[in-house]
């Protein structure tokens, strides 16, 4: 879908989701995926990219270069990195 804030799309493309999911072959699917090894992550997952995009769209107006944001419960860290 379209981004209201083009920087959201740029940020998401700049951080390779492949490094944050268990099965790299499916990293670019718009679906939630398991994190790490099954025994390490206790069934945790990374949300689908469209959900991360929606969250970042809401945050975009408040974020500025050099700004700080506290992300509680991010899980994989992918959205925080974006």
Helix/strand/coil for 40: helix
CA distances (Å), origin 25, targets 10, 18, 29, 62? 22, 8, 9, 34
Q: What is the distance between the alpha carbons of residues 19 and 76, in angstroms, rounded to a whole number?
A: 10
Which of the residues 29, 45, 47, 76 is marked catalytic?
47
Active site includes 29?
no
Q: Which residues are catalytic?
A: 47
């Amino acid at each position: 879908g379209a981004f209201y804030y083009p920087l959201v799309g740029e940020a998401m493309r700049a951080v390779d989701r492949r490094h944050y999911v268990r099965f790299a072959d499916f990293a670019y699917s718009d679906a939630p995926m398991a994190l790490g090894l099954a025994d390490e992550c206790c069934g945790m997952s990374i949300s689908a990219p469209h959900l991360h995009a929606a969250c970042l769209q809401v945050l975009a107006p408040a974020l500025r270069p050099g700004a700080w944001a506290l992300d509680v419960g991010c899980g994989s860290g992918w959205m925080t990195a974006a």
